[in-house]
Structure 1
Amino acid sequence: MPAATAPSATTLDRTALRAEAEQVLQRLVGSPDARLREDQWTAIEALVADRRRALVVQRTGWGKSAVYFVATALLRARGAGPTVIVSPLLALMRNQIAAAERAGVHAVTVNSTNGEDWGRVYEDVRNGAVDVLLVSPERLNNPGFRDEVLPPLAATTGLLVVDEAHCVSDWGHDFRPDYRRIRTLLADLPEGIPVLATTATANERVTADVAEQLSVTGTRTLEDVLVLRGSLDRESLRLAVVSMPTHAHRLAWLVQHLPELPGSGIIYVLTVSAAADVAAHLRGHGIEAVPYTGQTDPAERLQAEDDLVNDRIKVLVATSALGMGFDKPDLGFVVHLGAPSSPIAYYQQVGRAGRGIDNAEVVLLPGAEDRDIWRYFASIGFPAEDDVRLALSVLGDAGTPMSTPALEARVTLRRNRLEMMLKVLDVDGAVKRVRGGWQATGAEWNYDTERYARVAQTREVEQQSMIDYVATTGCRLEFLRRALDDPDAAACGRCDNCGGFQVSRDVDESAVTRAGADLDRPGVPLEPKKMWPSGMKALDVAVSGKIAPAEQPGTGRAVARTTDLGWGNAVRELFATGVPDGETPVPLRHAAAAVLDDWARDLALDGIVALCSASRPQLVAHLADGLSRYTGLPVLATFRLLDDSLTRSDVNSAHRLSQVARRFELPDDAPVAGKRVLLVDDRTRSGWTLTVAARQVRRAGADAVYPFVLGDGE
């Protein structure tokens, strides 16, 4: 690989350099008439001629990727090493690799889906055959990559690019702990290696935070970072808000008006379950719609992206998993079924539309449940200090590296929160990821209570700002631009409040009725657990490995998930904080009966077994008795509660199982022996209470057990 060399600013003819840069741009975009924007040239000049560090904050579609591809071509032509691009999403990587090839720049990627290619990629990088290496932020702290690949790569890098740089800042709407690892990479770069950070969604606070982090080596100060902020106007976007009285009306609006929207586009929803349900409803009305979430199989996600890019479907119904990096220049519309919790996040998502066309339509359909969903996601932020201290203590006492599952058995945090916390502690130097898991470093670490509180307060302000966006009578785009501290924010003349975009609020009542019928159709499957959590021996629970099929329940049913948009509302209200124990509400009685009519008719059930509840004993007893009277099935047994203390649901699977493993017992085996049983409880959250109870009933001789609850989820 060529050694990184610093071209002398005095020997470069900047006029000739710009001409050369525009030739590369023309190859990149496939047009002989292409010319660089002034800020594009300013950034390229700073990187290539002056070897500076720069932060470019420009709207989506402005051409930030052109800056680093053109700069790469110019630097490589002058003997510099390869460009390293830290990029957050695989979709972004695929699009960027294709774009780079058009400019004559050979780009490769290292990510979780191409492990078999890593050795060859690393060898090509060492041999100088690669112009651009794209890596995910998570890869930077992979022990093998960090310890074996990163040091020589940092020493020979010609340009470092941090894409979607707002993720570096925990003040941003999409903070990712892995991005903080970039600070270490910056510190390891030799003097004179240019750095470019880019984002479309950074207000002044985030911009200052990112710029400060770019200045981490040597005597660099904030003044050494060139910050280029441009106008965040999007001339192609026409924004509107359509408020509807019920979710059935919102679904009906989609069915009626989605075919009228230009081209193909995206419907953003707030939950995984909503993505599946809305896509199914649209397909039922002849609209080609596909769900896309973080739980979608990777191969299916790739196919869904390709189908949208090539207009084989009308719409992708997506969570925020489809965010940064998805590139379809002619995307005709973005609709939000439910508002994101931040105007900044909203601006980023609507920015997917209208990049390469003159007009794109953006519609927000806010929902009454939006705030509840925001509160839930806000509740799973950075863990409390006691949880963090416990994890550090366990790692410190272990003496050897601990895997995440092993650590999970010793702390209460759920897997996703535990992994996020470990990443933050890693960046802070308190723990280190090594082969075999994690280990404590012994370094002193302070819980920054004040900062976490300020970040939480910032989130609350953003949520209120999103509520204000819905209610504003002023220009929609100007509101979003001001939220991003755009000094040039002005009325767009194109939104519904400016008078340039009139959106029909009419809905056909028959469509509302059908949507209401779909929403009123209760029942979601409860799939049985197949594996015990790891590390249960450490919690004095003697289970491990696979759950024996003879001890598993069958697939059960819940009336609704707490995140659902139809019956989910009734379930959320029933289990809301402060609602007292009592009888099953009448609407949920009818819903439970409807689920049994639809699901249990072929199960040949012999009777009901009721669970016990420390928090809602009256509800569970009333539900079991009511189902018995409705079906004619006898209540064969009721579990006995051995410990009536309230348990925590906000813990990981291992600790949830340890809480319930010996919490209740079946008083007598005889009533259930040889029977097919409906196992009734009020709700399920982790699934372990039902798993333990079903195991006891199966061990008592029951031929089959089918769980039934009102609610599934927190």
Structure 2
Amino acid sequence: MDEQALREFADERLRALAGPGATLREDQWSAIRALVLERRRALVVQRTGWGKSAVYFIATALLRELGEGPTVIVSPLLALMRNQVEAAAGAGVHAATINSANPEEWADIEERVAAGEVDVLLVSPERLNNPDFRETVLPALTQDAGLLVVDEAHCISDWGHDFRPDYRRLRTLLTELPEGVPVLATTATANDRVVQDVADQLGVGGEHTGPQEALVLRGSLDRESLRLGVVQLPSAQARLGWLARHLAELPGSGIVYTLTVAAAEEVAAHLRDQGYEVAAYSGRTDPAERQQAEADLLHNRVKALVATSALGMGFDKPDLGFVVHLGAPSSPIAYYQQIGRAGRGVQRAEVLLLPGAEDRDIWSYFASLAFPPEATVRAVLDALAQHGKLSTAALEPHVELGRSRLEMVLKVLDVDGAVRRVKGGWEATGEPWHYDAERYQRIAAERRAEQQAMLDYLSTSSCRMEFLRRQLDDPYAEPCGRCDNCTGSRWSSDVDEQAVQQAEQRLRRPGVEVSPRKMWPSGMDALGVPVSGKLPADEQASTGRAIGRLTDIGWGNRLRELLGSGAPDQELPEDLFQAAIQVLAAWDWAQRPVGVVALGSRTRPRLVRSLAARIAHIGRLPLLGEVLTDPGTTPRRATNSAQRVAALWSQFRVPEELAAKLSAVDGPVLLVDDCADTGWTITVVSRLLRKAGAPEVLPFALASTS
């Protein structure tokens, strides 16, 4: 098939994919031509909605027509995979996906791939290091592949806003590809630094991959349909009230982004109270519910999804009419990526940012989860070297890392060759490993610069789209003529008092559940703590309550003010006492408490004692006493569940007087604390109270962190 025939075939497939009037952009054809005719490697950096997926689906169709093997697409999100499978069908390409949501289909899909019935196989980056997939499926797939696609390729760079350690395993995969297999990397959100890093890692920038130099295609990142604006409002109540009043005015259906899961759930609940069809969407949402929510938005059955960044890359709804952010992301690049969901197939879409005073606190929290110091990482390597193969759960007691950060460290060490994932866990390779402190410090500095740039975006009087494009090093950046600064046309920041009051009632409505721990962490015997498995029913706490979460947009600000690290110990403030009464009055316990116990605090004893005393007084309950902290123990900040339990195990004791009272009670006791963080303090202390004779323990705290 000559080049002219290939071009005609490509145009035909594009029309099947995008409609009868569609024509290939010149850069789309340049990329397809490089992949199909010249079998080159290419990096395509183009705006969201430009048509990057059309490049790899049409290239796949052409390569299959020429007798080549299936395309392998490494794709980061389930929502992205689902959309791509549907889009591929429009191009006459048979696609399938192997990911964590469909394990029951893996065997059948693998058979179909082997039989040549699948044109495109989408896999998550995590699959590349699954031992079974890596050893049984990947070798044959690598040898037979007709094209490798790395979608959302900025994830490969730890300079990128959405770094995924598993993506870096692609370097190994590239070295195993047979000569002449084309490679395509695509992204919409990469500045010069990320582009260079991705190009270096994938071997698609400035190097030779065979007889020709690789191709880099980079275009304008302008989004002509987007109307950017910022609405500055004085409080969380005003922001939520403003949204409730103006949501109906926004065109079509869209996305309301929040910075935390708690905020997503809280905002969605208020909007439903105001009569809107909306749903919350986050990483905590059940997978089936997430899929249903996506479908509801795609088919305009809801006005909006109130979502965290879990709804991000690759969600494709051409007629999405608006994106609103309640709270600013920490990076202009991440912000550009999220607003790119809007306006792909409509002439005008509204993009509004309503920043909050608490945004910087949230940024600081997520920044604290960056790559840990060298000594902590070395402890991971030492533990594996000493104990041999360990699962993540079994490794946790030996290191000062929480589960999510430990998994991230293991993935980085795996990519760097210092550990390997095997069936049943991880093992050290014995290879030397270098802690690149200078690089990690530069990355941290880059993150701080991004945060400052986001603040500058809020305050700029210049074109907002040009500002974002310059953050992405777009060489074509120029004033858009459409944003609020360019036009002088702005959404009013006025919000009527009734809307603010309704929002305040929602945000100030106290009460969240505190779920009890039911399983001890793995490996406690290694730390000298004689527990394992499930907590016996007669040692467990019951489901408790807290006034609010520290991450709430309502009570969160007030609780952070009271419980922050620099806050003084004080008597319980009246507003929080009234909130506590509301929570207790609404608690649907099976039996009313018969007494109150204070959980001894080293940092805020006055606050906790006054809370317990006032609850006992108002509820006409006996104040049974206080669980004491042992002065012979030293409190230690632990970073994972096993270490936390070990640190708490000998800290508390039930004094004899309290034990005597507990053995005589005939109902639940209310255990009062300031903050339910990991839940392990309440678990350990409740166990002591139950063993001392309490029939049931009902935990109550001012704040929760989950």
Structure 2 residue 316 is the aligned partner of structure 1 residue 319: no
Aligned-partner Cα distance in 2 for 1:644–1:201 = 54
Matches within 5 A, 1:139-158: 139-158=127-146
Report the alpha carbon displacement of residue 578 of structure 1 after superposing the two structures with TM. 2.1
Structure 2 residue 659 is the aligned partner of structure 1 residue 672: no
Aligned-partner Cα distance in 2 for 1:322–1:600 = 34
Deviations 1:177-210 (A, max 9, x none): 0101111111111111110000010001000110
**Structure 1 partner of 2:409:** 421
Report the alpha carbon displacement of residue 477 of structure 1 after superposing the two structures with TM. 0.7
Structure 2 residue 355 is the aligned partner of structure 1 residue 366: yes
**Structure 2 partner of 1:270:** 259
**Structure 1 partner of 2:426:** 438
User: Is residue 196–residue 205 contact of structure 2 (8 Å, CA) maintained in 1?
Assistant: no
Structure 2 residue 287 is the aligned partner of structure 1 residue 295: no
Letter in 1 for 2:33: E
- Which one of the candidate residues 69, 72, 79 is aligned to 1:84? 72
Aligned-partner Cα distance in 1 for 2:363–2:193 = 22
**Structure 1 partner of 2:345:** 356
User: Is residue 432–residue 439 contact of structure 1 (8 Å, CA) maintained in 2?
Assistant: yes
The TM-score with structure 2 as length reference comes to 0.97
Structure 2 residue 533 is the aligned partner of structure 1 residue 559: no
Comparing 115-124 with 225-234, greater Cα deviation is found at 115-124
User: Is residue 187–residue 217 contact of structure 1 (8 Å, CA) maintained in 2?
Assistant: no
**Structure 2 partner of 1:260:** 249
**Structure 1 partner of 2:191:** 203
**Structure 1 partner of 2:514:** 526
Aligned-partner Cα distance in 2 for 1:40–1:466 = 32
Number of residue equivalences:
701
Deviations 1:367-412 (A, max 9, x none): 000000000000011122111111111111123x211111112222
User: Is residue 675–residue 701 contact of structure 2 (8 Å, CA) maintained in 1?
Assistant: yes
User: Is residue 186–residue 216 contact of structure 1 (8 Å, CA) maintained in 2?
Assistant: no
User: Is residue 87–residue 162 contact of structure 1 (8 Å, CA) maintained in 2?
Assistant: yes
Letter in 1 for 2:515: E
- Which one of the candidate residues 642, 648, 654 is aligned to 2:630? 642
Matches within 5 A, 1:194-273: 194-215=182-203, 220=208, 224-273=213-262
Aligned-partner Cα distance in 2 for 1:643–1:387 = 28
Deviations 1:615-659 (A, max 9, x none): 222222222223233323222121121146553445111111111
User: Is residue 170–residue 202 contact of structure 2 (8 Å, CA) maintained in 1?
Assistant: no
User: Is residue 514–residue 543 contact of structure 2 (8 Å, CA) maintained in 1?
Assistant: yes
User: Is residue 643–residue 664 contact of structure 1 (8 Å, CA) maintained in 2?
Assistant: no
Letter in 2 for 1:713: T
Letter in 1 for 2:242: W
**Structure 2 partner of 1:472:** 460
User: Is residue 59–residue 232 contact of structure 1 (8 Å, CA) maintained in 2?
Assistant: yes
The alignment yields a C-alpha RMSD, in angstroms, of 1.8
**Structure 1 partner of 2:169:** 181
**Structure 1 partner of 2:13:** 24
Q: 1:375 to 1:107 in 2, by over 3 A?
A: same
Letter in 2 for 1:376: Y
* Uncovered stretches (5+) of structure 2, i.e. residues with no partner: none
User: Is residue 232–residue 354 contact of structure 2 (8 Å, CA) maintained in 1?
Assistant: yes
Report the alpha carbon displacement of residue 29 of structure 1 after superposing the two structures with TM. 1.7
- Which one of the candidate residues 360, 372, 380 is aligned to 1:383? 372
Structure 2 residue 492 is the aligned partner of structure 1 residue 504: yes
Structure 2 residue 529 is the aligned partner of structure 1 residue 541: yes
User: Is residue 205–residue 215 contact of structure 2 (8 Å, CA) maintained in 1?
Assistant: no
Aligned-partner Cα distance in 2 for 1:360–1:255 = 19
Letter in 2 for 1:159: L
Report the alpha carbon displacement of residue 706 of structure 1 after superposing the two structures with TM. 0.9
Letter in 2 for 1:457: A
Aligned-partner Cα distance in 2 for 1:55–1:236 = 25
Q: 1:217 to 1:37 in 2, by over 3 A?
A: closer
**Structure 1 partner of 2:294:** 305
User: Is residue 657–residue 688 contact of structure 1 (8 Å, CA) maintained in 2?
Assistant: yes
Matches within 5 A, 1:548-587: 548-587=536-575
**Structure 1 partner of 2:686:** 694
Aligned residue for 2:441, secondary structure, equals helix
Aligned-partner Cα distance in 1 for 2:64–2:133 = 24
Report the alpha carbon displacement of residue 565 of structure 1 after superposing the two structures with TM. 1.1
* Uncovered stretches (5+) of structure 1, i.e. residues with no partner: 1-11
Comparing 557-566 with 589-598, greater Cα deviation is found at 589-598
**Structure 1 partner of 2:698:** 706
Give % identity. 62
- Which one of the candidate residues 8, 21, 31 is aligned to 1:43? 31
Letter in 2 for 1:660: L
The TM-score with structure 1 as length reference comes to 0.95
Comparing 501-510 with 457-466, greater Cα deviation is found at 501-510
Aligned-partner Cα distance in 1 for 2:103–2:685 = 41
Aligned-partner Cα distance in 2 for 1:321–1:209 = 25
Report the alpha carbon displacement of residue 593 of structure 1 after superposing the two structures with TM. 2.8
Aligned-partner Cα distance in 2 for 1:388–1:513 = 49
Letter in 2 for 1:191: E
Letter in 1 for 2:498: S
Aligned-partner Cα distance in 2 for 1:138–1:157 = 19
User: Is residue 289–residue 314 contact of structure 1 (8 Å, CA) maintained in 2?
Assistant: yes
Q: 1:484 to 1:648 in 2, by over 3 A?
A: farther
User: Is residue 290–residue 304 contact of structure 1 (8 Å, CA) maintained in 2?
Assistant: yes
Deviations 1:535-561 (A, max 9, x none): 111111111221122222222111211
